[in-house]
Amino acid sequence: MKLGVLFSGGKDSTYALFKAMEKDKVVCLISIVSKNKESYMFHTPNINLAEMQAKAIGLPLIQKTTKGEKEKELKELKKAIKEAKVKFDIEGVVAGAVESVYQATRIQIICDDLGLWCFNPLWKKNQEELLRELLAKKFDIIISGIFAYPLVESWLGKKINKNVVNELIKLKEKYKISPTGEGGEIETTVLNGPIFKKKIEIIDSEIEAEKHSGVFVIKKTKLIKK
């Protein structure tokens, strides 16, 4: 089956891509750039990096921009998926939804309208298990956004490793936050992994943070050989 993958460059969409490539033929990535940092649907930290990530993986990217207004932003998503169907003849769409019923149901509605199969390979997956699988598969992931107490600026730019996963699990037990950021607590950016033909090196970045909210802004990168 020829698939298009909804891709933000974060860990969940990247791992969903990985899972899709194991069984089917992925022919394109689909990315939405939201001007609204509070978007209900779309990942925003470092979404501008999706184009380089697509190059690193070796897949074409269909990208649309939206103002990010609730529900209205779905029109741009539908346009992008429809373009993928026309241009690449996709038969289905893959998403990285894990817990968000809001996201999953709206993607399903769009796919139904366009006559496409919809697949969420990470749906309801145990969050601790998901993080440990990403480490086992050698994905290189950094924390690019924090949006909840008790997370602070020092978390931004951290590479997710065994120690960080253990810390996130402890925070879940003490503060009830989602270790994978399913409640919007954290956002991530993937720089390398088993499906990457080249890896991304960060040349310039800056941190924009205040109390328990902030973003690790990737300003300049380059592709390097693995």
CATH class given for the domain over 2-119: alpha beta
**Cα–Cα–Cα angle for 73, 77, 83, rounded to 5 degrees:** 145
- Give the pTM: 0.95
**Cα–Cα–Cα angle for 41, 45, 46, rounded to 5 degrees:** 120
pLDDT tens digit sequence for 78-132: 999 999 999 999 999 999 999 989 889 999 999 999 999 999 999 999 999 999 9
pLDDT at residue 49 in the model: 96
**What is the percent of the chain where pLDDT is above 90?**
87
- Specify the amino acid at residue 183: G
Structural domain boundaries of the chain? 2-119, 129-225
pLDDT at residue 40 in the model: 59
**CA 90 and chain centroid, separation:** 20
- Specify the amino acid at residue 46: N
pLDDT tens digit sequence for 145-204: 999 999 999 999 999 999 999 999 999 999 999 999 988 899 999 999 999 999 999 999
Q: Angle 162-175/127-136 helices, nearest 10 degrees?
A: 170
Domain 129-225 belongs to what topology? Answer: putative n-type atp pyrophosphatase, domain 2 (3.90.1490)
**8 A C-beta contact, residue 179 and residue 172:** yes
Statement: residue 143 has pLDDT above 70: yes
Statement: residue 212 has pLDDT above 70: yes
CB atoms within 10 A of CB 104: 17
CB atoms within 10 A of CB 51: 15
